[in-house]
């Protein structure tokens, strides 16, 4: 007897979302583990703060510089091979951090580590563009970025636990092994197209691709690859708008990733134990903000049928909400009110992630990996500059000025979304 036909869509794309989310968690766990291990490293090698700052920044500059090559590779070769390769490579570089023997070797290893991580988010964006329909793209970007912020939030206690039992070098060995295991898991259980995956049935494929007027499932959005039209990308006003908007977001994000513990310790006079507790609150708020923003942008898109409304409104609310919260947090004399204000700021800041990363998928077509790479490159130039500007402004004890600068940039970013960035306009349109 023939088996009955499927009547319910399968859930293969949610398994893929789990795979990608675990990778996002690993990216931030590997990215911030050195911050917690830094005191032990500095003590052993005699590094001063300037030297450690250079070691930290080596990652960010490499990460920004190699975004576009990482996205281009995923567009050309497919996310399966590229993500398996880059995660395996950067995991080796993570482990290699444990065998660094001086400032120069630390700088080189962290730079090479950044080269590998640069391919992660553009490659994953290309994967999501192939696996999810437009109404789900904000959600999946929100969920995956929530996982990344969760990685950042859980890194300090995990690193401290490992260090207390096995020393700081074991942190990098263990994190490296975790990444290598993921790369094997990804390569053997992911496929570039849902059409190729055993977990996806016909009904789910119809949900992903949609059907035409005759009820026939539409073909995958994969065309014969041609050379990337770089001149068109560079001349596109919409591409520049996407890059400028994301610059303002990442600039503010790196305040939380780099300077928040020092700010709470030196400006707000918390004890080290309290810093460990309160510095994690904004990052956990960011986990929630990522998912809520992703759900909100997809809901608005579904209700209005307009990406201009669905993407723009959520992004603008997020950027302006962060600006409104971050200024009083900087100016208040109450340290706990400052923490709560910064926590609300991070929630609203991460609210923008869903629409920000959905836009390259909406506007980039078969070059969505390259477009997202260009966006993230511009953003992380802001991320590289942010700690330097913050340190310069706070050098004389003025801890308020860096937050005011960030708020001004956030307002500028919201204006870019409102008047320049068009989520409905294809980047490669004439």
Please give the DSSP secondary-structure letter assigned to residue 6: P
When pLDDT is averaged across residues 404-414 and rounded to a whole number, the result is 96
For residue 430, name the pLDDT band (cuts at 50, 70, 90): very low
Report pLDDT for 224: 56
pLDDT in tens, 212-244: 777 788 887 665 555 777 888 888 999 999 999
Element (H, E) at 90: helix 79-96
Give the highest mean pLDDT range of 86-95, 193-202, 395-404.
86-95
DSSP 385-418: HHHHHHHHHHTTT--SHHHHHHHHHHHHHHHHHH
Q: Are 237 and 420 in contact (CB under 8 A)?
A: yes
Three-class DSSP labels, 228-292: CCHHHHHHCHHHHHHHHHHHHHHHHHHHHHHHHHHHHHHHCCCCHHHHHHHCHHHHHHHHHHHHH
Average pLDDT, the chain: 87
Given a cut of 90, is residue 160 above it in pLDDT? no
pLDDT in tens, 297-340: 989 988 998 888 999 999 999 999 999 999 999 999 999 999 99
Please give the DSSP secondary-structure letter assigned to residue 219: P
In the chain, where the domains are located: 12-204+228-419
Report pLDDT for 343: 96
Least confident of 55-59, 162-166, 174-178, 322-326: 55-59
DSSP-assigned beta bridge partners for residue 158: none
pLDDT in tens, 332-375: 999 999 999 999 999 999 999 889 988 988 888 777 778 888 89
For residue 54, name the pLDDT band (cuts at 50, 70, 90): confident
> What distance in Å separates the CA atoms of residue 358 and residue 366, rounded to the nearest whole number?
14
As a CATH number, domain 12-204+228-419 is: 1.20.1250.20
pTM, 2 dp: 0.78
Query: Which residue in the block uniquely carries the two structure tokens 């402004």?
Result: 393
Given a cut of 50, is residue 162 above it in pLDDT? yes
Report pLDDT for 49: 65
Report pLDDT for 225: 57
Report pLDDT for 78: 87
pLDDT in tens, 56-114: 888 888 988 888 888 888 888 889 999 999 999 999 999 999 999 999 999 999 999 99
When pLDDT is averaged across residues 115-126 and rounded to a whole number, the result is 89
Given a cut of 60, is residue 429 above it in pLDDT? no
């Amino acid at each position: 007897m023939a088996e009955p036909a499927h009547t319910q869509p399968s859930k293969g794309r949610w398994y893929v979302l789990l795979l990608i989310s675990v990778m996002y968690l690993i990216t931030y766990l590997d990215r911030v583990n050195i911050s917690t291990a830094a005191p032990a490293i500095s003590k052993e090698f005699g590094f001063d703060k300037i030297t450690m700052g250079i070691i930290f920044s080596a990652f960010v500059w490499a990460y920004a510089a190699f975004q576009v090559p990482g996205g281009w590779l995923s567009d050309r070769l497919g996310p399966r091979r590229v993500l398996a390769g880059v995660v395996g490579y950067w995991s080796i570089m993570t482990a290699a951090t444990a065998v660094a023997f001086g400032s120069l070797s630390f700088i080189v290893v962290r730079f090479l580590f950044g080269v590998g991580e640069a391919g992660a988010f553009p490659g994953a964006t290309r994967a999501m563009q192939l696996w999810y329909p437009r109404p789900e793209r904000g959600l999946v970007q929100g969920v995956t970025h929530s996982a990344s912020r969760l990685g950042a939030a859980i890194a300090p206690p995990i690193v401290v636990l490992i260090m207390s039992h096995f020393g700081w070098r074991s942190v990098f060995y263990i994190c490296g092994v975790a990444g290598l295991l993921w790369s094997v898991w990804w390569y053997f259980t992911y496929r570039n197209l849902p059409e190729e995956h055993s977990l996806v049935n016909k009904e789910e494929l119809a949900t992903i691709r949609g059907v035409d007027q005759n009820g026939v499932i539409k073909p995958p959005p994969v065309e014969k690859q041609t050379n990337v039209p770089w001149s068109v990308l560079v001349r596109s006003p919409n591409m520049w708008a996407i890059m400028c908007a994301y610059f303002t977001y990442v600039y503010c994000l790196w305040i939380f990733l780099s300077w928040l513990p020092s700010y709470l310790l030196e400006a707000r006079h918390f004890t080290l134990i309290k810093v460990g507790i309160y510095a994690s609150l904004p990052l956990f708020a960011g986990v929630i903000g990522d998912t809520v923003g992703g759900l909100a942008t997809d809901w608005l898109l579904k209700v209005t049928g307009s990406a201009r409304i669905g993407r723009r409104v959520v992004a603008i609310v997020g950027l302006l909400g962060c600006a409104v919260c971050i200024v009083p947090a900087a100016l208040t004399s109450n340290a706990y009110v400052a923490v709560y204000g910064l926590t609300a700021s991070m929630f609203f800041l991460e609210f923008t992630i869903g629409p920000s990363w959905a836009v390259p998928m909406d506007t980039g077509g078969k070059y969505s990996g390259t477009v997202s790479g260009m966006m993230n490159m511009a953003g992380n130039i802001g991320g590289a500059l942010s700690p330097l500007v913050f340190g310069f402004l706070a050098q004389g004890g003025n801890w308020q000025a860096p937050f005011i600068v960030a708020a001004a940039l956030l307002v500028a970013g919201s204006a870019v979304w409102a008047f320049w960035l068009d989520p409905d306009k294809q980047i490669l349109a004439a």
